[in-house]
Structure 1
Amino acid sequence: MARRTQSRFIFEIVENSRVFRHQFFANGSRRADCATCESRVPASEPYNHHWRNDIKNNRSYCIQLGSEEKQILKTIEDQAIEEFILCDGSITARTNDFLLDSGIDAVPQLLRFLSFGTDKLEASVGFYVDVKKERMYYESSPLNIENHLDIGEAVDMIFSMLLEKISNYVLLHHKVPLEACVIRRMKVTVKRFCHSPKSKSIPVSKLPLQYQVKNAAECLERGSNKLSSDLIKLVETYINQEEPGRPIPLTLKVNLYSFRVCSTSKELYVVPHLLSGDDVDNTPTFIIQTDVVGGFQGLLEVRNIRKFLKVDSQDRVFECRQCQSHFVDRVHFALHKQIACGRNFMVWSMDKDAIELHENCLPLPKEYFKYEWVGLASKRN
């Protein structure tokens, strides 16, 4: 029942500058300011100038894809590669470090890479576990990921539930704790549901789960009578053609917000992009949706921005009626229900001395991924 980090995000005017601060709290008391989020710009500049250098300063959650990486994605699609193997190449087993590195960095990085150009991913994770003189393979059931900003939470949930299942299994059948197990290899299975080539526009992705559970926003569909299409086009043109020093159109009477992820705590939060109306209740308000490389996808209209921005109180405990697990985080509870309490997780017994042979493998470049991933192709060139 881990609690989400409690934080506060504020703007302060200091002389002629506007300063954005991210402050951490524990038990209601302020503990520290986040050094990676703090940003200072002239007070007269638009709010989005606080974040426009995130990629250059290595503070962005978005990934960067060059022509070589896009060619790898094309190869993955052409060869229908859905399985990816990661091994711990160290001489001595280091299960804890391997799981930590893969859960926090390697697997989320792979999934973010694979999410480019997709409507959603369907992902499962499997661990090869050596315990005593046996080798077991434990695999999660597939989990749908419909927004790249949910990848970190999804991987965390899958890893936690897998390790809990393994711990219970080895304690029951082998009378040993999880610490007696050695894990040096894992397999990630990913089905990519790519954008339809016949579609003329890129569909707007769903909100991240953290904001879905608030039910505070709804998608603004083209052709609706809620707002004029001219205003929508003006907003999209402004976003797609933003340039330093370019004046804000006087007719752009909207408030725009965007998602941002803290580089230190990995918290997801919403920041202002452009505020042109003081009347919060009557000024059209939108969330800007972007893909995993930061490309503009569309707009989501927010009906109640105060509720949307308000941090969830964590004084309520949610109980799963199926398995009686308890959660204080609604996102974790939603993922837990989506994966059906882990009831469909599988375990296989393997021959410890068996050797797996795979033809037509695709090693992913370590220069980009940092980890030695190998894709297992199901089609020949």
Structure 2
Amino acid sequence: MTRRTQSRYIFDIEENSRVFRHQFFVNGVRRADCTTCESRVPVSEPYHHHWRNDVQDNRGHWIQIGPEEKDILNRIEDQAIEEFILCDGSTAARTNDFLLEAGMDAVPQLLRFLSYGTEKLEATVGFYVDVKKERMYYESSPLNIEHHLDIGEAVDMIFSMLLEKISNYVLLHQRVPLEACVIRRMKVTVKRFCASSKSNSCKLPLQYRVKNAAEVNENGSNKPDLKKLSETYLNQMDQHIPATLKINLYTFRVCSTSKELYAVPYLLRGDDVENTPTFIIQTDVVGDFQGLVEIRNIRKFLRMDTQDRVFECRQCQSHFVDRVHLALHKQISCGRNFMVWHMDKDAIELHENCLPLPKQYFKYDWVGLASKRV
């Protein structure tokens, strides 16, 4: 069990500038300031000017989807493609590098792409493992991902639990450590639950649902006012929101260095944080506005865990320092439903109607396996 680096954000006033800083702490001691998050604007400008260049500077957490990518999504739907294969094309086995690239980049990128236009994803990951002249296939149980900002944490949890299961299995049955295994191929199964026109779901990322569920009213206390407020925000995005609108708005950001999710001010109009209506701006995976979620207790909403706390799973007694990982761990039933199959190492899998995904967009050699002919 490893301890995460804790962090906080602050605003400093330096002469006529307001400076945003994201600071890292280890065991309560400040270690460094994040250079990728630092932002400086004139002190008279609104807070959202700190974040308005995130897309141009490639500091945002959104992806770009154009006509070609939308065409790929349509083909995935038309051919009922739910399984995607990723292979390591290098000549020499490099299991650690392959898993690192897949877990940090390739799989999260694929899931973010597939999350476009959906309410949630159901994802399953499987590894093809060669060890001592045997081949096995290990597969996780399905995990529901209900917000695109949860994808990184979800993939991290699935990979960690899969590798733990593989390590225990090969040590027990083959009497070898995990390092003796070679993994050069994986399969990701994804069911897309597309958003309907009647859906108005606006869920928070799991990190904030878990910590502050009792403090958030997802529908707002007054629906007509909330709808009007959303329309005002959309109409004034590139201009100044009317000064008569006494609200506080926050938005989500993801640190390019630590991949940490945090909420930052977008517009602050009320000094009385307890009584000023406060909302968090919700966007989809491409940055399009989805709605506003009312925050009942902004102090608790923004507060990060800084104390030494350990969360225990009552089912299997596993321990976590992060409530998000505990929640994901519970969602996949402590890994009890993970499966392993023994395969003929010389067997050849043949698939028809495959859809190679463009490498210039995905950077990796993903292939979609169609389940029906077109």
Regarding TM over 0.5, the answer is yes
Q: TM-score range by the shorter chain?
A: over 0.9
Q: Distance in 2 between matches of 1:315 and 1:243?
A: 40
After superposition, residues 182-221 of structure 1 pair within 5 angstroms as 182-197=182-197, 199=198, 202-214=199-211, 215-221=213-219
Q: Counterpart amino acid of 2:191?
A: K
Report percent identity of matched pairs: 77
Q: Is the 8 A contact 1:219 1:299 kept in 2?
A: no
Distance 1:216 1:32, change over 3 A: farther
After superposition, residues 1-381 of structure 1 pair within 5 angstroms as 1-197=1-197, 199=198, 202-214=199-211, 215-221=213-219, 226-227=221-222, 229=224, 231-244=225-238, 246-381=239-374
Q: Distance in 2 between matches of 1:314 and 1:366?
A: 44
Q: Counterpart amino acid of 1:212?
A: R
Q: Deviations over 1:246-267 (max 9, x none)?
A: 2321331110101110000000
Long gaps (5+) in structure 2: none
- TM-aligned CA deviation for residue 380 of structure 1: 1.0
- TM-aligned CA deviation for residue 174 of structure 1: 0.3
SS in 1 for 2:315: coil
SS in 2 for 1:112: helix
Q: Deviations over 1:222-281 (max 9, x none)?
A: 7xxx3472x42443133323454x232133111010111000000000001111111111
- TM-aligned CA deviation for residue 15 of structure 1: 1.0
- TM-aligned CA deviation for residue 218 of structure 1: 2.5
SS in 2 for 1:213: helix
- TM-aligned CA deviation for residue 28 of structure 1: 1.6
- TM-aligned CA deviation for residue 8 of structure 1: 1.6
Distance 1:218 1:28, change over 3 A: closer
Long gaps (5+) in structure 1: none
Q: Is the 8 A contact 1:314 1:329 kept in 2?
A: no
Q: Counterpart amino acid of 1:13?
A: I
- TM-aligned CA deviation for residue 175 of structure 1: 0.3
TM-score, normalised by the number of residues in structure 1: 0.95
Distance 1:186 1:228, change over 3 A: closer
Instruction: After the TM superposition, list the runs of 4 or more consecutive aligned residues in structure 1 that deviate by more than 4 angstroms.
Output: none
Q: Distance in 1 between matches of 2:40 and 2:214?
A: 30
Q: Distance in 2 between matches of 1:377 and 1:122?
A: 17
Q: Deviations over 1:174-230 (max 9, x none)?
A: 000000000000000000000124x2xx523321111111225423437xxx3472x
User: CA RMSD for the aligned pairs?
Assistant: 1.3
Distance 1:323 1:196, change over 3 A: same
Q: Distance in 1 between matches of 2:63 and 2:124?
A: 22
Q: Deviations over 1:96-146 (max 9, x none)?
A: 000000000000000000000000000010000000110000000000000
Q: Deviations over 1:30-58 (max 9, x none)?
A: 11110000001111111111011101001
TM-score, normalised by the number of residues in structure 2: 0.97
Q: Distance in 1 between matches of 2:202 and 2:344?
A: 43
Bigger mean CA offset, 248-257 vs 182-191: 248-257
Q: Distance in 2 between matches of 1:227 and 1:337?
A: 34
Q: Distance in 2 between matches of 1:48 and 1:247?
A: 10
Q: Is the 8 A contact 1:216 1:307 kept in 2?
A: no
Q: Distance in 1 between matches of 2:100 and 2:175?
A: 25
